[in-house]
Chains A and B, each alone.
Chain A
Amino acid sequence: MKLSGWTIIVACVCLGLSAFFFAYFQVYSPYEQAAQYFRDYHTDLNAAADKMPLAVKRVKKAMEMVNADAQQWNQYVATKTPSDSLFSGGVNINENPYQLVVDSPKFRNSAQRAFNAQLHVGDVKVVSAPEIPQPTDSEKDILASYYNFPAISFPVVIWELGAVTVTGRYDQIMKNVRSWSNMDHYLAVVDGLRLDGTSPNLTATYNVTIVGFIRASRGVFPAPQVAIGSTSSSGGGGFTPTSSGGSNGGAGQATMKPAGGG
């Protein structure tokens, strides 16, 4: 059979185009597209990698914040928490539960003495004042009921004592209220201050809440003078805190409540 010239040309062109289209659609175009994707990905990766100095700065900032708070906390531990010795007005929480039942009323009495002394600061006269609650005599739940452990992840006494009424001059009362910040071994907060009467004989009523973070030698809480990791190196050094905390959203925030003015 004889083929015409055009038939041969067309056949060759078709064959060539088949190879060409295969090369283009099956190889060239997908490979080029993939290459473009990789180039974009590479650009994104480089952009992300370029943030390393910012990330290091961020870590450093976080460490500085934590270190600053840790140092501040150590100061509070030294001055605003009861000692771990019964004889110096504190309590040793690591005693056995039976001994703790015996020690806790003594600790409570020490706290009441400290509270009573604080009430008179500013030379005011106390009209009425609350008593610090007595601990339970049950060794089974004294930790839970009095030291809020393990409901709170560390032992702490929280005494929402209620209303205190004192009389005195305006300046005496203000000094008295302000002085609660200086109470030794405890954190105290006053709210709802109300003044009544005719100067200079004023009557003040306010609510007091006292918090005592209990020291525990077996745990690390709240142990003063803890070594803090250095933050001087960029990206290196620092520390990993030892146990997990709560959610990140509430980090460093104290819950506030509306104060009652009476």
Chain B
Amino acid sequence: MKLNLLPTHVSKEKAARGALFGGILLLLVLLGLSGAMIYKARGDLALAQDGIAEAEGRAKAAKDTADYADTVMQQSTVLLRNTALAKAMLAHNAVYPNLYDSVKTYIPSFYRISSMSAQSSGDNMTTVTLVGYLDTYQQYADLMLALLRMPGVVSVSRAGFTNNMAYVPAPTPEDQQGKPHKPGEAPIPDDPLKRLDYFMAKGKTTGYANEGGYGSGQPGLRGAMPNSSEVTVTLVLMRDTRTPDPKATLSASGPAPAGSGPGPSAAGGQLPTTTTPPPSSGGNESAPGPAPRKGKRGTIPAEGD
């Protein structure tokens, strides 16, 4: 067994000194790291803030310039609206003649027109109504095929043809064979004498019929001939025949400013009279402001947005 004769405080003091030295060393290291972090963070922040004001100025200038386009358009609204109205009014006068010229091309010669009208039925849609005369049931079918060839036609509907074609009836006591006759007429008798009476009774035109204005010797409307039918055709076309509405358009400019006096001092044309440059591209460092908004502005497309 070994006996330690040294006092206990001798070895502890040595150890405490080492620990103190080590602890201070660690403390210094940690303090140094902390200082380095603070230094770096402040440097990074300063670096990141550098040039912000200048960039804000440039961004604000770009936004102001872009907004100026809106201002130009907004302040010229009345001018633009009036010019658009004038253009639309002048252009509209040819709309109906052009429409009728194009429709007329597709109307077959056997369909004799007595009336033609057109009505706008919404955006880019027009209903054209034709009234005319047809002689045969076959023409009634051919007319539809002819009109369906029209470019931009959406639908064609027809009405009014009276079909008086002879048809084969069922046998009756007087007519055992079912001889063809027109709708509404009595059966044609088999007995020769009765048949003679039948046809004699049918003969009724004894003079000038004066039907449809024909033979009157006067110019004017000629209606349906005997055995013809008045047929109404309705075409729906993809054509815009809406008419400019001057009152609604001009009223949209709003009333004159209050206190403008009895005379028309308010500018109706909104014509530009001064020359003021839009915001320059120079920096404005007074306020950072929000970043310029993205997307389209006003009525002018923002190219590249």
Point out residues on A near B: beta carbons under 8 Å. Answer: 2-13, 15-17, 19-20, 22-24, 27-32, 34-39, 41-42, 44-46, 48-52, 54-59, 61-63, 65-66, 69-70, 72-73, 76-77, 80, 93-94, 97, 143, 147-156, 158, 160, 174, 177-181, 187-198, 201, 206, 209, 211, 213-214, 216, 218-223, 226-230, 235-262
Contact = CB atoms under 8 A, between A and B. Distances in A.
A58 B66 CA distance: 7
B75 A238 contact: no
28 contacts: A23-B38, A27-B38, A29-B41, A35-B44, A49-B55, A51-B62, A55-B62, A55-B63, A58-B302, A148-B250, A150-B255, A152-B250, A153-B266, A174-B101, A181-B91, A187-B246, A189-B88, A192-B96, A193-B117, A193-B118, A195-B117, A221-B266, A221-B267, A241-B75, A246-B81, A251-B74, A254-B88, A259-B118
A35 B89 CA distance: 61
Nearest to A200: B219
B152 interface: no
Contact of A252 (B44, B83, B91, B128): B83
Nearest to B99: A193
Contact of B83 (A11, A57, A73, A196): A73
A242 B79 CA distance: 11
A118 B42 CA distance: 83
Given A154-B266, A221-B266, A178 B40 contact: no
Interface stretch (B17-25, B178-186, B202-210): B17-25
Interface string B43-84: 011011101100110110111011011111111111111111
Contacts of B163: none
B264 A155 contact: yes
Interface residues of B, number: 135
Contact of B303 (A8, A27, A54): A54
Contacts of B71: 240
A93 B27 contact: no
Contacts of B9: 2
Majority-rule SS of B interface residues: helix
A11 B19 CA distance: 10
B222 A55 contact: no
Contacts of B302: 54, 58
Contacts of A228: 272
Interface in B225-279: 241-257, 260, 262-278
A251 B268 contact: no
B277 A248 contact: no
A164 to B, nearest CB: 13
A218 B260 CA distance: 11
B136 to A, nearest CB: 20
Nearest to B118: A261
Interface stretch (B142-150, B164-172, B291-299): B291-299
A245 B69 contact: no
5 cross-chain pairs, A with B, having the tightest CB-CB distances, nearest first: A154-B268, A5-B19, A16-B30, A245-B77, A12-B23
A19 B117 contact: no
Contacts of A58: 65-66, 69, 297, 300, 302-303
A72 B246 contact: no
A45 B263 contact: no
B85 interface: yes
Contact of B249 (A20, A28, A245, A254): A254
Nearest to A206: B96
B77 A209 contact: no
B154 interface: no
Contact of A242 (B122, B219, B255, B274): B274
Contacts of B26: 9, 12-13, 16
Contacts of A19: 30-31, 34
A242 B93 contact: no
A246 B252 contact: yes
B272 A258 contact: no
B253 A31 contact: no
A147 B264 CA distance: 10
A253 B78 CA distance: 10
